[in-house]
Amino acid sequence: MFSTDRYVTRGVNEVVPIELQRMLWSILEKRQVRGDQLDHLQIFELSAEWVDGEPLQKVLNRQEQPFHEEVIYVDHTENLAIGVTVWIIDSGTYSTALLPEEY
């Protein structure tokens, strides 16, 4: 799952910096290596958290079946994505990163 061709919608390209897009795919790769069972719909909620006066990109990754919720912090990002939700959906043939409103 999520290892086939990957696509990103125009909406994601406009609001999520490319380095953060790569990180979202990387999170899924790491979960697969770890042996996690992945749902075909992965939800990423992007926000910021301030630590010692510095902004960190906060990424909440969750899925419904089986239930999973995990928070990842990204230290080195110049452009934060705040208040953005990204869905990555695996169709079996390809995977697409999109904003919920693009569904």
Domain residue limits, the chain: 5-102
Q: What is the mean pLDDT of residues 13-24?
A: 95
User: CA 5, CA 38: separation in Å to the nearest integer?
Assistant: 17
Going by pLDDT thresholds of 50, 70 and 90, the confidence category of residue 54 is confident
pLDDT surpasses 80 at 76: no
Q: What is the CATH number of domain 5-102?
A: 3.10.450.150
Determine the pLDDT at residue 1. 83
Interval 35-48: pLDDT, tens? 999 999 999 999 99
Going by pLDDT thresholds of 50, 70 and 90, the confidence category of residue 87 is very high
pTM for this one? 0.93
User: CA 103, CA 95: separation in Å to the nearest integer?
Assistant: 13
